[in-house]
Amino acid sequence: MEKEKNIRDILSERYPNFFEENTMRYSHIPKGWDDIFISFLEEAKRYIETSGKGDDFKILQFKQKWFRLTIYHTGGDDYLADLVNKTEAVACNYCSKCGVLVDTNVNEIERGRCLGCKNDSW
Ligand SMILES: [Zn+2]
């Protein structure tokens, strides 16, 4: 059976400039938010490459805190800070376990989970 590659290894390989030595040791996000987090890194990378700005942008830690995606960062510029805020806000609409988009106008996400996943173990 093929072993699934750890998301943190993939991130370190793909975006080595974004992470400090200890970032991965203290970071973890639930699987449901992997795509959102990768899209965020892609966007940040593209911005830095095309604008030439914010190349000291570093992610110190990313995790689930109080059921929300939380990204601690340093450096960068206003655009990147805004991108971090948007990413954290967007993740609130997705189930942290299965990644399904929940229409928050109709259904509440409970503790970062869709109603189908809310009673599953952490
Ligand atoms: Zn779910």
Q: What is the pLDDT of residues 14-63, one digit of tens each?
A: 999 999 989 999 999 999 999 999 999 999 999 999 999 999 999 999 99
pLDDT of residue 2: 47
Q: How far apart are CA 19 and CA 93, in angstroms?
A: 26
The label of the residue with tokens 């189930």 reads 95
Q: Is the pLDDT of residue 93 over 80?
A: yes
pLDDT of residue 104: 78
Instruction: Count CB neighbours of 86 within 10 A.
Output: 12
Range picked from 1-5, 65-69, 75-79 for highest mean pLDDT: 75-79
Per-residue pLDDT tens digits for 103-118: 877 778 888 999 899 8
Ligand 1 centre to CA of 88 (Å) is 17
Ligand 1 centre to CA of 14 (Å) is 27
Predicted model pTM: 0.90
Q: How far apart are CA 103 and CA 111, in angstroms?
A: 15
Ligand 1 centre to CA of 73 (Å) is 27
Ligand 1 centre to CA of 94 (Å) is 8
Q: How far apart are CA 37 and CA 106, in angstroms?
A: 25
Instruction: Count CB neighbours of 94 within 10 A.
Output: 22
Ligand 1 centre to CA of 109 (Å) is 9
- pLDDT category of residue 86 using cuts at 50, 70 and 90: very high
